[in-house]
Amino acid sequence: MRLLNLIVFVLIFILPVNGQVREGKGVPNLPAFDYRPLHFGFLIGFNAMDFRVVHKIPLDRPEGLENRYAEVVRLSPGINIGIVSSLRLNQHFNLRFLPGISFGQRDLLYIQDGEAEETPLQIKSTFLEFPLLLKFSGDRMTNMKPYLIGGINPRFDLSKSENLGLDLKSRDIYLEIGAGLDLYLNYFRLSTEAKLSVGMMNVLDPSGTGEPEDLLYTDILERLTSRIFVFTFYFE
């Protein structure tokens, strides 16, 4: 239901914008926008956070946990907010720095001997993030322009100490790749973008939380790596 509400919100927002772009067909809005050497703005986005779970082989686990597994059972929508700084390199390339904060959650369900636990572990994250991305833009089509984007995003998790059951490392570096569309309106440029962000580090702390009752959550896992899907609106 929450995902459906998000889709409806996006459609309600996008339809009037498309109308503005079509009404301006043949008459470019903001004709000098792309020639600015530096410009700023802000972003609002929606995310879905996921884990790639790698388990230990049964021989490496404590006795009694040989048939215990974990998986992410649902993707809960989160939110991103941030600031846009964009440096023009040439006609097709811009260097973008997008510092911000994001909130999200991953629900990790444990299953043992075919029986799932009643309540999954709720892994909540509040990320400070500092993406540095290279944007490659196609040719402008009156008031629209497609683009590709990629780069790195160091993230620092402020909520890692609040999670129960697992202890996660707070730092990770993500590779990011995505695509989007610039829409030139009368007074500003609106961009919509879909992006995949893949964590490069194992964020699982193998020493665990220090609580004996939490060992059954940590001791079956070899690696946890993050994956984040983001849909973003940029206002510049």
Q: How does pLDDT run across 146-155, given as a tens digit for each residue? A: 999 999 999 9
Average pLDDT across the chain, whole number: 88
Select from 71, 63, 67 the least CA-distant residue to 114.
67
Is the Cβ–Cβ distance between 228 and 50 less than 8 Å? yes
Q: What is the DSSP string of 146-205?
A: EEEEEEEEEEEESSGGG-SS--B-SEEEEEEEEEEEEEE-SSSEEEEEEEEEEE-S--B-
Backbone φ/ψ region at 158: left (φ over 0), alpha (ψ -120 to 50), beta: alpha
Q: How does pLDDT run across 207-228, given as a tens digit for each residue? A: 877 787 788 899 999 999 999 9
pLDDT band at 161 (very low <50, low <70, confident <90, very high): low
Q: Which domains does the chain have, with CATH numbers?
A: 38-235 (2.40.160.20)
